[in-house]
Structure 1
Amino acid sequence: MKALASTLTAMMLALSSTSYADVNTLSQNLKKNYPTLSAKVVGESPVDDIYEVQMAGSLVYTDEDARYFFVGNLVDFQNKVNLTEQREQQLNKIDISQLPLANAIKNVKGKGERKLYVFSDPDCPYCQRLEQELTTVDNVTIYTFMMPLTALHPNAERIAKKVWCSENRYEAWEDYLLHKKMPSASDNCSNPIQKNLELANSLNISGTPTLFLNNGERISGGRSAAELESLLNSAK
């Protein structure tokens, strides 16, 4: 029995060393083949000899040669689970306590017991759709960090500033996103828009809407009211 145990231990160590060596090889090949690319090996995928590589907050897949990449979602079709989305949510968690909430528009609905942190662009159609879904979600405190993407929406920064300069910021925000009512306030008050853009960049947020739950989990893209309810409840 002792001999068998020793043999099994040796085999496990050998397999572990091989796996570590493959990850090392991949890391070296990434640096050699793409010296200007910010890429990090973050784990092994469920597929043999294929590894997870994180680039700008997104996952791609490759082998140790780092020549051919799989870009897209890895799905466990039998169990109907999007493994890529699930893994990205784990890897892209943040420390919510570090968010500068003073730079966000705060809206308390009902008791406000649940928390949602949203990075949003006023002219983003997906953000507008999300805002519509949020009208039926209650018992939540929403912190909206305005993040105008001027390359896509040239007027978004001016609108965001006008919203911030409004007496009732959330009302101005909601009026614009839901009803296309332009804020009447000026756009030259002190505002956190540039700081929000820098914050988004530091968190690898490149698209809107991007949401964070109270446990720090990241959700990319909009969700239906029913999905938001489920996510908020799971993050208590």
Structure 2
Amino acid sequence: MKTWLTTLILSLSTLGLAHADVATTQQNLKKNFPEIPVSAVNTTPVKGVYEVITEGQIVYTNDDAQYFFVGNLVDPKNQRNLTAERMQQLNKIDVSTLPLNQAIKHVKGNGKRTLYIFSDPDCPYCQRLEKELTAVDNVTIYLFLFPLTTLHPNAETIATQIWCSKNQYQAWQDYLLNHKAPTASQKCSTPIQKNLALGQKLNINGTPTMYLKNGERIAGAMQAGQLNTLLDQAQ
């Protein structure tokens, strides 16, 4: 009993110390970098190194919070990228909360798998993804028009015309795959501004960005074979 009690006391003491160190790091971050919005500070497997989550990104610091370490924390023995794993956890969402009325729905085959895509019509990587999607079947796609006008000034105009088209997804494919400009007017109401606000909330800063049925996030274009595997795993 004495051994058990001693172990318990030591464990609680260590836990309290860990919380104190996190609290100290948070205080030092606020003092040294008040302009940086810090969402959370967590411990890492490396003694004295803390994970700092800021604006959807991960950096590392120590309890003095004088410097930041930017990069991946890797466990070579177990061949794990700990930073990438944490980012995957942080970026995971509950897809049931996505406003599907703001997306273009397209069903291929039996539609049993689901893919949510935030895409810019003038983004080269989005065009590459759309080409790969021609080899992906049995999927329901929810396409959120997400024009990044700072990179592609005409993208919002094109996205508006696509949304206002009678066959929205066909107009999307015609533009991205065949370079055929949409002909619809720009006089209908669109969810584009709502999509941009949603993307900001989800820390989406590049296209294409995809979400699987299990809420996992995929950034960038991907080959059809790899995407098929992930879609199957997410069921």
Alignment-derived partner of residue 57 in structure 1: 56
C-alpha deviation, 1:173, in angstroms? 0.8
Alignment-derived partner of residue 231 in structure 1: 230
Distance 1:136 1:179 in 2: 16
Distance 2:234 2:201 in 1: 23
Kept in 2, the 8 Å contact 1:23–1:41? The answer is no
User: TM (normalized to structure 2)?
Assistant: 0.94
Pairing 1:49-128 to 2, within 5 Å after superposition:
49-128=48-127
Alignment-derived partner of residue 204 in structure 2: 205
State the AA in 1 paired with 2:75: D
Equivalent residue of 2:142, what SS?
A: strand
Structure 2 vs 1, CA of residues 23 and 198 (structure 1 numbering), >3 Å: closer, same or farther? same
Distance 1:120 1:182 in 2: 17
Alignment-derived partner of residue 9 in structure 1: 8
Kept in 1, the 8 Å contact 2:26–2:41? The answer is no
Kept in 2, the 8 Å contact 1:27–1:40? The answer is no
State the AA in 1 paired with 2:74: V
Aligned length: 235
C-alpha deviation, 1:160, in angstroms? 0.5
Pairing 1:71-220 to 2, within 5 Å after superposition:
71-220=70-219
Give the unaligned 5+ runs of structure 2: none
Equivalent residue of 1:142, what SS?
A: strand
Distance 1:164 1:177 in 2: 14
Distance 1:86 1:178 in 2: 34
State the AA in 1 paired with 2:226: E
Alignment-derived partner of residue 44 in structure 2: 45
Structure 2 vs 1, CA of residues 229 and 147 (structure 1 numbering), >3 Å: closer, same or farther? same
State the AA in 2 paired with 1:111: N
C-alpha deviation, 1:25, in angstroms? 1.0
Give the unaligned 5+ runs of structure 1: none
Kept in 1, the 8 Å contact 2:120–2:147? The answer is yes
Give a deviation string over 1:56-86, Cα, whole Å, max 9, x none.
2121111122221122222333443332222
Equivalent residue of 1:71, what SS?
A: coil
Distance 1:126 1:48 in 2: 40
Distance 1:50 1:129 in 2: 39
Distance 1:108 1:196 in 2: 21
Distance 1:110 1:79 in 2: 40
Structure 2 vs 1, CA of residues 191 and 71 (structure 1 numbering), >3 Å: closer, same or farther? same
Structure 1 window deviating more from structure 2 (110-119 vs 130-139): it is 130-139
